[in-house]
Structure 1
Amino acid sequence: MIEEKLQVQKWSPEQVAHVVGIAYKTVYNWIDQGWLDVQLPDLPDHGIRRHRAKEKRGTFSHGRSIEKRPHKVETRQEFGHFEADTVLSGKRKGQAVATFVERKSRLTIVKRLHGRDSQSMTQAVLELASQLQDKLKTLTVDHGKEFANYQAIEQLTGTQVYFAHAYSPHERGSNENRNRVLRRFIPKGQAIEELSDR
């Protein structure tokens, strides 16, 4: 079953581990020890470039640092602490999607954005807060321009927005992982407006 998920269905070890109920490092150990008929280069996320190209979508430098985020967010013991980001189509103009990943449960919510600006992201966060019925406690984001309206988000939702350090995607690791999975369904260059909401 595990080999089929990895080889045929192209699941990541993290996805398999979550479904089976084991630690993802166990899956990697089984592969390394030859207990699974799978090679590391065959995995969907193998060889990911860890050094990102320079940010092209615009950034800003204000906001509350992740260093001020409460320790309870880091421990993943409480529901309501989300990481957020955008996935772009790769085209210069057009739609994008916002991804929200809850740190404790790994609940992932994807919302279509009608633009790549802060107004579109603010609207998506307001919809998320309404959907969660005031369970949205914190958001951890990067310094992309779509989060420039963070003060309005805080005032309208009562949540606290924290900003990860520049070029530190590991500080929003759950979100980055989900974005890689999403990229299998929305490859770069795919026009998001051509996709259905399913």
Structure 2
Amino acid sequence: MKSPGAPSLRRDVERLFWREIAKGLTSEEAALAVGASQAAGSRWFRDRGGMPSFMLTPVTGRYLSFPEREEIAVLKAQGAGVREIARRLGRDPSTVSRELRRNAATRGGKLDYRASVAQWKAELLARRPKTAKLVVNERLREYVQERLSGQVRRPDGTPVSGPVAAPWKGRNKPRRQDRRWATAWSPEQISHRLTVDFPDDESMRISHEAIYQALYVQSRGALKRELVACLRTGRALRVPRSRTRQRATGHVTPEVMISERPVEIEDRAVPGHWEGDLIIGTDRSAIGTLVERTTRFTMLLHLPRMQGYGFEPRVKNGPALTGYGAEAMREALTARMATMPDELRRSLTWDRGKELAQHTQLRIDTGIAVYFADPHSPWQRGTNENTNGLLRQYFPKGTDLSRWSAEDIEAVAATLNARPRKTLGWKTPAEAFNEQLTSLQHAGVASTG
């Protein structure tokens, strides 16, 4: 094999690098920990999109290791023959002979065995490049791209263009700027939904990790890198990140605390229990979110600013004109809950925001029991918190949410409700919610009969 140039760092060094990354080190710290340069660590991490594209476990003893190649080089320089080297290594003579012939350096027109060059050549020969499934299967690729980056549509099928987003620059999602609206199924949702949509077509199968690799790893080449902007996180590199923030207030009375909520709500067996919150934008704009705990069905509340906002002076203890004051929230929730059967409006769990200060009147108007989560405990409304995270792909922080009409936010809600969910057996929330409505209708017919 002709030597193509200077050998790069050994594969086992890079393997150790990814083990350090798994411990939580940065790419620069991990590179220094394994004896590589910081630039090499940054390049490894960037080229593979934050994903190790080869096995992290070391190779088996079937293959010569780098220490064995170093010993071969030393013995060869001392004039030892092939059989002597093989005896000292505990290897077959043919293995040593083949190693000296195949992996020796050829610079200068003669064979010169050096351990670093031999290791590098062996790793090059050991590669088994495999064409990505999304490259060869056009039908599968189109399915994945449509579910990942397809258009948001209103319930009648009319496309919604959404905001004009800045072009992707190879970085994470822009902070406090508009993002492109897309169908935005997760790779896991796409992978499992394939078995539902194509139960008898084995060619329409792909793992979610293969989709992530197609997005993040440059060498895969099946999907465009800029499609990472369609993922919920919008990360340019696959780096874990989390954030939670909960603000506590003091207007909640003990009798409506979550500790007083019936136990039956916890197991999600009975439908009709909701979780709610606000997502906040700039200039005191907001959208209300409601999620049904059993089916994960999402409803969004349009909260336009009230007449006089920005012109009339603020009145102490007067009505809030922002659109999500206590009175506006009660009216919006009452109007939306009035469209639900009594069996599907059993309870509502909210955070401790003052926008639901009129919860007593809301209970009188709708018959729905209202409970409030504990301070700094977003996990008590985990379904709603997760949904708000999904919605931030369409309504990022730092943007004006009042510009979107009721029809626009309904289109986003319909998009979320049309995504398959793992917890629902890969049904969509809309399908699960319709099943609940159908069962209630049948139960009503049976009781009147």
Shorter-normalised TM range: 0.7 to 0.9
Quote how far apart the aligned CAs of 1:59 are.
3.0
**Cα contact 1:60–1:148 (8 A) shared by 2:** no
Which structure carries more relative contact order (alpha carbon 8 Å, separation 6+)? Answer: 1
Query: Any conservation in 2 of the 1:100–1:109 contact (CA below 8 Å)?
Result: yes
Distance verdict in 2 for CA 1:188–1:123, change over 3 Å: same
Is residue 154–residue 160 contact of structure 1 (8 Å, CA) maintained in 2? Answer: yes
User: Could you say which residue in structure 2 is the equivalent of 1:84?
Assistant: 276
Deviation digits for residues 119-157 of structure 1, max 9, x if unmatched? 111112101221103231100011001011111111221
1:34-73 equivalent positions in 2, closer than 5 A? 36-38=210-212, 44-45=232-233, 47-52=240-245, 55=247, 59-63=249-253, 64-73=256-265
Q: 1:109 offset after TM fit, Å?
A: 0.4
Q: Using the TM superposition, give the Cα deviation of residue 19 of structure 1 relative to its aligned residue in structure 2, in angstroms.
A: 4.9
Contact kept in structure 2, 1:3 and 1:38, CA below 8 Å: no
Cα distance in 2 for residues equivalent to 1:18 and 1:104: 20
CA–CA distance in 2 between the matches of 1:183 and 1:113? 17
Change in Cα spacing, 1:14 to 1:69, as seen in structure 2 (3 Å) is farther
1:82 aligned partner, one-letter code: W
What are the within-5 Å matches in structure 2 for residues 164-183 of structure 1? Answer: 164-183=373-392
1:27 aligned partner: none
Equivalent of 1:147 in 356, 364, 368: 356
Question: Within the alignment, does 1:156 sit opposite 2:365 as a pair?
Answer: yes
Two-structure CA RMSD over aligned residues (Å): 3.0
CA distance in 2, matches of 1:166, 1:17: 37
Amino acid corresponding to residue 146 of structure 1 in structure 2: E
Q: Does the CA-based 8 Å contact 2:276-2:384 persist in structure 1?
A: yes
Does structure 1 conserve the Cα–Cα contact (< 8 Å) formed by 2:232 and 2:393? Answer: no
Corresponding residue of 2:329: 121
Q: CA deviation at 1:21?
A: 8.1
Distance 1:109-1:19 versus aligned 2 partners, 3 A rule: farther
Count of matched residue pairs: 183
Cα distance, 1:44 vs structure 2: 3.0
Query: Aligned residue for 2:298?
Result: 108
Amino acid at match of 1:139: L
Could you tell me which residue of structure 1 aligns to residue 186 of structure 2?
12
> 1:6-31 deviations in whole A, cap 9, x for unaligned?
69964336754885689xxxxxxx66
1:176/1:21 CA distance change after superposition, 3 Å: farther
Q: CA separation in 2, counterparts of 1:146 and 1:49?
A: 26
Contact 1:87 1:97 in 2 (8 A): yes
State the alpha-carbon separation in 2 of the partners of residues 184 and 72 from structure 1. Answer: 32
Q: What amino acid is aligned across from residue 232 of structure 2 in structure 1?
A: P
Cα pair distance change 1:48/1:123, threshold 3 Å? farther
Whether the 8 Å contact between 2:277 and 2:384 is mirrored in structure 1 is: yes
Residues 60 and 144, structure 1, Cα contact 8 Å, conserved in 2 = no
Instruction: Indicate if the aligned counterparts of 1:98 and 1:112 stay in contact, CA closer than 8 A.
Output: yes
TM superposition score normalised by structure 1: 0.77
- Please give the TM-score of this superposition, normalised by the length of structure 2: 0.36
* Partner SS state of residue 338, structure 2: helix
Mapped partners of 1:162, 1:17: distance in 2? 37
Per-residue CA shift, 1:42-92, capped at 9, x if unaligned?
A: 65346443342x63xx8334231111211211111111100000111133x
One-letter amino acid of the counterpart of residue 272, structure 2: G
| Equivalent residue number for residue 25 of structure 1 | none
1:7/1:38 contact within 8 Å kept: no
Q: For the residues of structure 1 that align with 2:282 and 2:189, how far apart are their CA atoms?
A: 25
What runs of 5+ residues in structure 1 fail to find an aligned partner? 23-29
Structure possessing the higher radius of gyration over alpha carbons: 2
1:37 Cα deviation (Å)?
4.2
Amino acid at match of 2:249: T
**Which has the larger share of helix?**
2
Indicate the structure with greater strand content. Answer: 1
Rounded Cα–Cα distance in structure 1 between residues aligned with 2:261 and 2:333 = 19
Q: 1:6 to 1:38 in 2, by over 3 A?
A: farther
In structure 2, the CA distance between the partners of 1:21 and 1:90, relative to structure 1 (3 Å rule), is farther
- Counterpart contact for 1:84–1:140, Cα < 8 Å: yes
Q: 1:136 aligns with which of 345, 348, 354?
A: 345
Contact 1:140 1:162 in 2 (8 A): yes
